Structure 1
Amino acid sequence: MTVTEPSRTAAPLPPLAARAAAVGGSPVRDILAVTARPEVINFAGGLPAPGLFDGEGIAAAFRAVLEETPERALQYATTEGEPALRTAIAARTTVRGLPTGADDVLVTTGSQQALSLLATALVEPGDTVLVENPCYLAALQAFAFAGARVVPVPCDEAGIDPAALEDLVALHRPKLLYTVPTFQNPTGRTLPADRRAAIARVAERLGLWIVEDDPYGELRFEGERVPWIATYPGAGDRTVLLSSFSKVMAPGLRLGWLRAPAGLLRACAVAKQAADLHTPTVNQLAAARYLADRDLDAHVAHVAGVYRERRDAMLAGLADALPEGSSWIRPEGGMFVWAKLPDGYDTTELLRTVITHDVAYVPGAPFFAGEPDRSTLRMCFVTQSPDEIAEGLRRLGAALRGGLRGARAS
């Protein structure tokens, strides 16, 4: 007698959360995957130059903490961060014009985590968040994942228009404004002091959190440093300052921090407990040891000097590489040049042709929260030598001359 098993029908799994299904991946990461071939001169990345890392100094710091205090370096730590590192961060912040104590600082696993923690602590689904236009792409992702309604603030080559900001705050009553005011990603522009003061006044008068992200501010090549928005009257009790060691020490350490008023900092610490408990202890102690034993400012000055040469090489070649009528922003520091081709060109479509010439950039469209300007593009100048940049721009010019006619936007 043969026994037949009844047919089995598996019930479908519950769906992903709506926010997970709605938020896509990073177009920049997708482009980097396509352009990973070694022959490609890749202006698409946003990575610091690996050849300029102080590998010996960082290795010495790790050796010291692992040899002298292994039981501490390899153990769990407090969520807020190692006291030695928080103290060092507070001291560096104070020296730069914003009085800060260790208790004002929360160490995060990269400043990207700080954005995620702030979105968790501040944003309810449906809340409005204001951002620069265009905006750092990963910030758009973080706020979208939190369910925010993201509204772009009109900007020009100097950054946010304070009058337009005031109108939008009055209209939408947003939770926060997110800004990268110094050497912005993707545009490289820097917000002038008078506009920073005006933004502080708007936030104080109308009730608004300011999230001031400053990952690039130490990489200045020319001009005078502009004080953080957090230092202006009215902004102190409503500004969260984010920064990171990723661009000045090493991104692989994944060390960032946020400075915030006490109540918000506590809320972010609770959110971090739920996310990862704490940032790796050994990395924190090694960074603190590096800051104690080495001159990070001297290292950053050296890196900025090299980056300036590379920026100058890119600026020198843009006129020949880009079509007539193009424009670009001259950054005073940072890592990026932002360019705009004449109206009617679509840099996303053009990239198909450009990549076949073994060179790459990032199309500007993904950086816009609202209607994108498809004629824009971002190029990172820090990871190639001046000669490589010149060759990359030569390839780019040849690719654009060959592909422009077929890539006109409809």
Structure 2
Amino acid sequence: MNNTHLAKSVDALKPSAIRELLKHSKMPGVISLGGGIPSPELFDKAGLEIATRNMMENQFLDAFQYGLSEGYPPLREAIGALCRGRGIEATPEGILITNGSQQSLDILVRTLINPGDKVVVERPTYLAALQVLQLSQANILSVGTDKDGMIVDELEALLQQHSLKAVYIVPTFGNPGGVVLSDARRRKLVQLAKQYSFVIIEDDPYGEINFTDQTYKTLFQHAQESGSEGHVIYTSTFSKILAPGLRVGWVVLPEWVRQKATIVKQATDLHTSAHSQAMAASYLALGRLTDQIQIIRQAYREKGYFLADMMRSELGDHISFHMPQGGMFLWATFRYDFDTTAWLSRTLEEKVVYVPGEFFFSDHPDKRTLRLSFATPTMNELEEAVRRLKKALP
């Protein structure tokens, strides 16, 4: 047997650069600024222990029995309330529970995209989204970003030449760029979706990790308010605000796609772990999540601003970056011609890793870029990591 027996879509699939870099991050003495891994110090251990006891006492059969493909009803109710707090009107019937945002995206792409369908992403965009779209054999197009997020005028120009099936976007503190799509661009993007009849897949893992008092309407809310319901599908997760090991996310589905997406979910895994769903529902019932999110915001705010200060102080002559206002990442660009993928071999010698930026581009990669995650390292580790990066400069 050889590669000729593989599906063409799988044969062409490349491994995640981030998952590969995790191997290096496990080496002794290495400081990783690579993976977007939540700090384990911010897991609500006490709350999760209480939720576990409550689940075992009150939801034992639900937690260890087969469940509905759509998801555990008490959890869907709780997520509906959570969504309303984000300005999204979502009934439990419109919520599909998934194994995190990654499966949400996989299910949506399986449900919506045919081989050759044109899908637009940001440049740069979430690496794992590119993997899913490549596996579906979508025709991936891209538009640029700036400090105000996706350049929607570029998308509008693209629409003059191409018929699009979907736009995938992380509009709030996106991965990897960390930028926020401006309110004016949000309104225009939703308007274009209605005008040109394409679907927006709004991925929102980081929206709650906001370092400022400014709030942002989701694209889903804009669509509801402007009579464009059905053109935006919203997905989010508990991975960044509760615990990634639970593998619990969700999709808010317009009525026209609910049944088919649920059938795709059935064919994929029958249902998300009943144990994880019951655990999440039990935790949400405690009412601790709001305070926990505030703790996470404060911790990541301090780390993000500290890393930015260190970068300016030690590497400001070499690297520019957008100041993070939320999320888990700092996206940086060398001020001169530079290959950050090649540089990684030198930084590994200094025992510090990051993710080279070129992997986040579907086309026209900018080799001068890199993504730094400040979520997991301590303040001392962040300081030392920047010094090691400076030492590794040629």
Q: What is aligned with 1:41?
A: 31
Summarize deviations over 1:63-121 as a string: whole Å, max 9, x none: 22223332221100000001100011011111221111111100001110010001100
TM-score, L = length of structure 1: 0.93
Q: What is aligned with 2:113?
A: 123
- In the alignment, is residue 246 of structure 1 matched against residue 236 of structure 2? no
Q: What is aligned with 1:114?
A: 104
Asked if 1 retains the 8 angstrom alpha-carbon contact of 2:318 and 2:336, the reply is no
- In the alignment, is residue 297 of structure 1 matched against residue 290 of structure 2? yes
Asked if 2 retains the 8 angstrom alpha-carbon contact of 1:170 and 1:206, the reply is no
Q: How many residues align?
A: 391
Asked if 2 retains the 8 angstrom alpha-carbon contact of 1:322 and 1:397, the reply is yes
Gaps of 5+ in 2: none
Q: What is aligned with 1:58?
A: 48
Q: What is aligned with 1:407?
A: none
Q: What is aligned with 1:408?
A: none
Greater shift in the superposed pair: 155-164 or 97-106: 155-164
Greater shift in the superposed pair: 178-187 or 312-321: 312-321
Matches of 1:72 and 1:228 in 2, distance apart? 33
- In the alignment, is residue 190 of structure 1 matched against residue 183 of structure 2? no
Structure 2 counterpart of 1:354, from 347, 352, 355: 347
Instruction: Kindly report which structure 2 residues correspond to 1:34-183, keeping only aligned pairs within 5 A, or say none.
Output: 34-183=24-173
Aligned-residue offset at 1:172: 1.6
Aligned-residue offset at 1:325: 4.7
Matches of 1:37 and 1:61 in 2, distance apart? 34
- In the alignment, is residue 377 of structure 1 matched against residue 367 of structure 2? no
Gaps of 5+ in 1: 1-10, 404-410
Moved over 6 A (4+): none
Matches of 2:227 and 2:125 in 1, distance apart? 24
Asked if 1 retains the 8 angstrom alpha-carbon contact of 2:68 and 2:271, the reply is yes
Matches of 2:87 and 2:61 in 1, distance apart? 36
SS class of match (2:293): helix
Asked if 2 retains the 8 angstrom alpha-carbon contact of 1:203 and 1:234, the reply is no
CA RMSD across the alignment: 1.4
Cα distance change of structure 1 residues 235 and 48 upon mapping to structure 2, 3 Å threshold:
farther
SS class of match (1:171): coil
Aligned-residue offset at 1:252: 0.2
Aligned-residue offset at 1:12: 6.7
Aligned-residue offset at 1:365: 0.2
Q: What is aligned with 2:255?
A: 262
Aligned-residue offset at 1:196: 0.3
Q: What is aligned with 1:312?
A: 305
Matches of 1:98 and 1:44 in 2, distance apart? 32
Matches of 1:26 and 1:120 in 2, distance apart? 20
Structure 2 counterpart of 1:387, from 380, 383, 389: 380
Aligned-residue offset at 1:309: 0.7
SS class of match (2:142): strand
Summarize deviations over 1:231-275 as a string: whole Å, max 9, x none: 112442210000000000000000000001012122111001000
Instruction: Kindly report which structure 2 residues correspond to 1:320-339, keeping only aligned pairs within 5 A, or say none.
Output: 320-322=313-315, 324-339=317-332
